[in-house]
Structure 1
């Protein structure tokens, strides 16, 4: 025969253990959810960071130069690269005229790549070329005439 007091104590202890186990499992599940959210946030942040790093012209230009050097394009005939640039301008015009934003974006990117390689072939650095151009225009004054900026004195 069992002692009723011991049965009650056993039952009470068993209920407490079950409650503590449930609370622990709930806490672990919440911790898993928080951990999963942190991982998702970190992956998203890493993706955005990578996208930001690659979208910066300053960061992607060295990759373009390395790509060109690996293919020996930096020492190739610059007249061919100039022809390639005019081809890309044609594709840009086509995309613009047909209102194709993806083609416009691709053409502008291609033109930057081609101009970077063309500059290399001429012994120039595209970033220096851009800096020189900006220095020339940064303080320029003028006005819009027929949808185009006209500098003063023209």
Structure 2
């Protein structure tokens, strides 16, 4: 995983995307997330795999543009959820305070 992330980071640097406008990168993320939804609605597993991968690429670049790493962001999120209590309802986790 680290090798792939490094390859994406290098690709972004080669394209000068790490210095790009984060607002534009966020829009690219939304575009790719929309492709994930479209693939799911069509039951297209190949397009879903591509969309998930493309979405992760956009997040790696967005993190770079803010001086962060994907690992750092994921660790931050995990640290927030690891002790979270709640209940899974219809396949969705609902935080205890939202029940």
TM-score of Structure 1 vs Structure 2, range by shorter chain: over 0.9
Measured against aligned partners, the alpha-carbon deviations of 1:111-135 in whole angstroms (never above 9, x if no partner) come to 0001000111122211100010011
Match of 1:43 in 2: none
Asked whether 1:131 is paired with 2:87, we answer no
Asked whether 1:92 is paired with 2:41, we answer no
Determine the C-alpha separation between the residues in 1 that align with 2:25 and 2:56: 12
TM-score normalised to structure 1 length: 0.61
Is there any run of 5+ residues in structure 2 with no aligned partner, and where? none
Match of 1:122 in 2: 66
TM-score normalised to structure 2 length: 0.93
Greater percentage in helix: 1
Q: Using CA pairs below 8 Å that are at least 6 residues apart, which structure has the higher relative contact order? A: 2
User: How far 1:71 sits from its partner (Å)?
Assistant: 1.1
Is there any run of 5+ residues in structure 1 with no aligned partner, and where? 1-56
Asked whether 1:109 is paired with 2:71, we answer no
* Farther-moved stretch of structure 1 (138-147 vs 69-78): 138-147
Q: Which runs of 4+ in 1 moved over 3 A?
A: none
Structure ID, larger Rg: 1
Structure 2 SS opposite 1:123: coil
Measured against aligned partners, the alpha-carbon deviations of 1:15-63 in whole angstroms (never above 9, x if no partner) come to xxxxxxxxxxxxxxxxxxxxxxxxxxxxxxxxxxxxxxxxxx2221111
Asked whether 1:79 is paired with 2:23, we answer yes
Q: How many residues are treated as equivalent by the alignment?
A: 98
